[in-house]
Structure 1
């Protein structure tokens, strides 16, 4: 078994749970230990150690998402909206806020365009797992309270 690149587990755990970005950790490790880490390695380390997820939980992303639909543009946009909302959520603790990566200028531009297009079309997003595309735009109804409409097993669980 290869020797671990991690020099101090307690230190690395603290950095990850404090919300430090992976790129920041990689730079510190390079300077402090002369060791080159990769983001995927840090993500796997976080998961193996049972540290909190860096992904924003949201009612915008459907449950029971089919693997074939995970790379879809609409899903990417819903995740951007979820991150943006999390950063603006005043009830979010400072520790949790640090875990949410701010949107880059490019991501902000893409998200804004997505939301403008939804509004202009007076549409919401729905998800149908048993279809090729998975995500679809459907006309907004009076019952729609957000930018998504999910029913049945794909309806997100309120946390």
Structure 2
């Protein structure tokens, strides 16, 4: 079976599960959760196809994966920080101040990942990408520490 057929079957299966769950659900938050699960599953199926397909370069797969994560973090951080979508947080009953700090930490994480995606896309050396990744990790951890440390106040 070709990789494209596997992706297609996976996508159709996930959409069928979503449709069945959508019909049975009356709670909107449950529907959002299922939508997230299905979209993530389809994206992972496409990523798997890109990994096994000889026509897709490793740099394209890597840059697309890291870039998608960066954009997702930026969007999630913006939604929590600016739009007040505290329901996206896994922290139950977070105060608006804590939610804003966590949203900022998420957006900072997305910004820190963008140079890593660019380094991978431009086929930079492993040392350069490693340094970019290390810098992103330190930045992300710093943002999380600041967000969590401020939660006690």
Please confirm whether the aligned pair reaches a TM-score higher than 0.5, indicating the same fold: no
What is the TM-score of this pair, normalised by structure 1?
0.27
Structure with the bigger RCO (C-alpha within 8 Å, sep 6+) is 1
Structure (1 or 2) with the greater strand fraction: 1
